[in-house]
Amino acid sequence: MSSITCIIVEDEPLAAKVLTEYIEQVPFLELKGAFKDALLATDYLRDNSVDLIFLDIHLPKLKGMAFLKTLSHPPAVIITTAYHQYAVEGFNLNVTDYLLKPFEFERFLVAVNKIKPALLNQAEDSTTKVDDVRDYLFLNVQKKKVRILFSDILYIESQREYVKIVTIKKEYLSKISTHEIESLLPLNLFKRIHRSFIVSIKKIESYTSEEVEVNGVCIPVGRDYRHVLEKL
């Protein structure tokens, strides 16, 4: 069964701790990070994708609802708050559920189970379509669409608003985010091992907990991505 990736956006340490413990009890949930304000979450989401956000409303710097409105393609959202008066606004923004603090694990599980079938089916359908139908992608390179075979790609490196795609033949520079290109790649062929690097699994020559060697190039492994190597 595929896992549902999630993050917590919560400025209260105790509330974040409770959510973390609840998430750890659910086999199909995978916590990617906890952030004490929406700006830190925004920075993370710029280069990473998740399926679900547990979002508090009263946050410093940028309120939860305002943060939600800034997301052009928001994932599923479960509001966690002590204030019931924002429920209508939350549901107008298509949030999945609205948990009033303090809430028990059973209520938490009810909320999570609302999104489980849809997200898991969507993930499986997406993987099947990409993996079984296409063996390439088209990217904008110097004002033209260039066809790049998945089998040719060695690794991909983020370079601010661009990504560098290193293949067995040549290198390409395309104006696309790391998050966007990751969503175009087959999950069974490519893995992100660092905030700035995605590698082709079949092209890995050797690895340690700190670096991966691909075609003679040593690529760093981010601390938050070491679990990826354990699953290879």
Q: Give the pLDDT confidence score for residue 33 in this predicted structure.
A: 94
Largest CA distance in the chain: 58
Domain count, the chain: 2
CA 46 to chain centre: 9
Q: What is the mean pLDDT of the chain?
A: 85
Domain end among 98, 131, 164: 131
CA–CA dist 57, 83 (Å, integer): 8
Please answer whether residues 64 and 55 qualify as being in contact, where contact means their C-beta atoms are separated by less than 8 angstroms. Answer: yes
pLDDT per residue rounded down to tens, the chain (232 residues): 468 899 999 999 999 999 999 999 988 899 999 999 999 999 999 889 899 999 998 898 888 888 988 887 888 899 998 876 655 555 556 788 888 888 999 999 988 888 866 565 555 555 444 444 578 888 899 888 999 999 999 999 998 889 999 999 999 999 888 888 888 888 889 998 998 999 999 999 999 989 999 999 999 998 888 888 776 6
114 and 179 fall within a common domain: no
Q: Which domain holds residue 97?
A: 4-131
DSSP-H helix ranges across the chain: 13-24, 38-47, 64-70, 87-92, 105-133, 178-184, 226-230
115 and 140 fall within a common domain: no
Task: Map tokens 């994708």 to a residue.
Answer: 49
* Helix (H) or strand (E) segment spanning residue 218: strand 217-220
89 and 173 fall within a common domain: no
pLDDT tens string 145-184 = 999 999 999 999 998 889 999 999 999 999 888 888 888 8
151 and 115 fall within a common domain: no
List 165's β-bridge partners, or say none: 156, 172
Which CATH number covers residue 215? 2.40.50.1020
Domain end among 131, 152, 187: 131
DSSP-H helix ranges across 71-175: 87-92, 105-133
